[in-house]
Amino acid sequence: MSKKIDVLSLKGEKVKDIKLEDNVFNVKPNDAVIKDAVVAAMAGARQGTSKVKTRSEVSGGGRKPYRQKGTGNARQGSIRAPHYRHGGIVFGPVPRDYSFKMNKKEKAAAMRSVLSSKVSENKFFVIDEIQMDEYKTKKIIAMLEALGTKKALIVLDNADEKVIKSAANIQGVKTSFIKKDEVSVSATLSVYDVLKYDTVVIVKNAAKNIEEVYA
């Protein structure tokens, strides 16, 4: 089964129809895998560079604060023990990798879920093509105005530098791509971005690439 959707020009005018496969763009959203995908994306974006010094790393403390016996105090080995002022930190943060992996089937299910949500909410616009001979931010703004949106994720079928840089300084707009050839797939499209932006503006060939990758 497939669903027909309008293919628009950069001026927002209908130029043809396209059939979107129901098994990709018309599925029941799976909230659990969507949540996992978002958490994975946010965890992967964490730097994980927080670091404190333990008692072996903090400066000083090479000598005993006082002799072992005869003072009436509890024995102490170093003035850099955790309970001393300027002592080392116990169980503090250390550099680590917060990222974790999702299996391919979960990733695909999450992507199908968020794309289906955008289609059902009429927040999914298919553009015939976006071709630019020069860097022109005004052209991207005009296209978004014609579609009646401001906060959008623009999905291309390749890493078109002119389109990416033309949209880079527009607040609330981000570009990503999904490119597929006979031997490989390269993509920056993510579940997190599809959810984050109000609308998805996708070129026709990118929609076909999504069907081939996530079907």
- Using DSSP bridges, classify how beta strands 185-187 and 173-180 pair: parallel, antiparallel or unpaired: antiparallel
What average pLDDT does the segment 45-72 reach?
91
Rounded Cα distance between 149 and 185, Å, is 29
| pTM across the whole model | 0.81
Residue 84 lies in a domain: no
183: pLDDT strictly greater than 90:
no
- Is 22 a domain residue? yes
Q: Is residue 35 part of a domain?
A: no
Is there a domain that residue 161 lies in? yes
Q: Is the pLDDT of residue 2 over 90?
A: no
Cα separation of 110 and 105, whole Å?
9
Burial class (CB in 10 A: 0-12, 13-18, 19+), 196: middle
Check pLDDT > 90 for residue 166: yes
Burial 4-35 (b: 16+ CB within 10 A, else e): ebebbebebeeeeeeebbeebbbbebbeebbe
User: What pLDDT is stored for residue 62 in this prediction?
Assistant: 79
The answer to the question of residue 94 being in a domain is: no
pLDDT band at 61 (very low <50, low <70, confident <90, very high): confident
Nearest to 166 by CA among 195, 140, 194: 140
Is the residue at 93 inside a domain? no
Nearest to 146 by CA among 127, 120, 173: 127
Q: Number of folded domains in the chain? A: 1
Given pLDDT bands bounded at 50, 70 and 90, which one contains residue 1? low
163 is in which domain, residue-wise?
2-29+103-214
Question: Would 139 be classed as within a structural domain?
Answer: yes
User: Which CATH number is 24's domain given?
Assistant: 3.40.1370.10
Residue 131 has pLDDT above 90, yes or no: no
Q: Is 162 domain-assigned? A: yes
